[in-house]
C-alpha cells in the first residue's frame, strides 16, 4: 500500500499548502533534492496562486533552479498520491480534511507561513530560513524512514 508505484516505478509524494506559493514550493525544491531518487515529487495547493517572489528569491540564493516551480492545483496532480504532506499551520487548513480517497496516506508538517509574518522583508526571510530548515530536517528523516521501509518490503 505505502509503496504502490507510479508508471516510472516510484511512489508519488505531494507537498500541500493553501496557495502553493511558499511552504509547499520550498518543500518541492527540497523534495527534488532529497527524495527524487525514490519518489516522484509534486507540490500543489487547494487554491493555487503564483509562487511568492520572496520564496523564489530565497531558493535561488540557496542555489536551486526555480525555473520549473509554479503554483499547481491538486486537480493537476497525477493520481494516486501515495503520501500527501500538508505544510499549513493551524488556522490555514486542517491537515486531515483535504482532498480525496486517491491519497493513500496523509501527514502534517505544520509550518508557519513566512509570507504572513508581520514585519519587513528581512523578517519574512528570517522566518523562511527557519521554515526551510525545519522542512529540510523533516525531509531527511522522511527519506531515512522511507529507505528503511523499502528494505522491509
- Residue 9 pLDDT > 90, yes or no? no
Grid coordinates belonging to 124: 519574512
**pLDDT of 153 above 80:** no
Residue 2: the pLDDT is 44
The C-alpha atoms of residue 109 and residue 90 are separated, in whole angstroms, by: 11
Of 51-60, 90-99, 126-135, the least confident? 90-99
Residues 6+ apart with CB under 8 A from 2: 11, 82, 83, 104, 105, 149, 153
In this predicted structure, the answer to whether residue 37 has a pLDDT above a threshold of 80 is yes
CB distance 139 to 31 below 8 Å? yes
What crossing angle do the helices spanning 53-61 and 23-34 adopt, rounded to 10°? Answer: 30
**Which band of pLDDT confidence, cut at 50, 70 and 90, is reported for residue 22?**
very high
- CB of 14 within 8 A of CB of 85? yes
pLDDT at residue 96 tops 60: no
List the catalytic residues. Answer: 17, 88, 95
Give the model's pLDDT for residue 5.
Answer: 52
Amino acid at each position: 500500500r505505502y509503496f504502490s508505484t507510479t508508471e516510472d516505478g516510484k511512489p508519488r509524494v505531494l507537498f500541500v499548502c493553501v496557495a502553493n506559493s511558499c511552504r509547499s514550493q520550498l518543500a518541492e525544491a527540497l523534495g527534488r533534492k532529497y527524495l527524487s531518487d525514490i519518489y516522484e515529487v509534486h507540490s500543489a495547493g487547494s487554491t493555487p496562486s503564483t509562487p511568492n517572489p520572496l520564496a523564489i528569491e530565497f531558493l535561488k540564493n540557496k542555489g536551486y533552479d526555480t525555473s520549473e516551480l509554479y503554483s499547481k492545483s491538486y486537480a493537476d496532480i497525477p493520481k494516486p498520491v501515495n503520501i500527501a504532506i500538508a505544510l499549513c499551520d493551524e488556522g490555514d487548513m486542517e491537515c486531515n480534511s483535504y482532498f480525496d480517497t486517491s491519497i493513500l496516506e496523509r501527514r502534517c508538517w505544520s509550518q508557519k507561513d513566512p509570507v504572513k509574518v508581520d514585519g519587513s522583508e528581512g523578517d519574512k526571510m528570517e522566518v523562511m530560513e527557519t521554515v526551510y530548515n525545519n522542512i529540510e530536517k523533516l525531509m531527511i528523516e522522511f527519506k531515512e524512514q522511507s529507505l528503511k521501509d523499502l528494505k522491509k518490503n
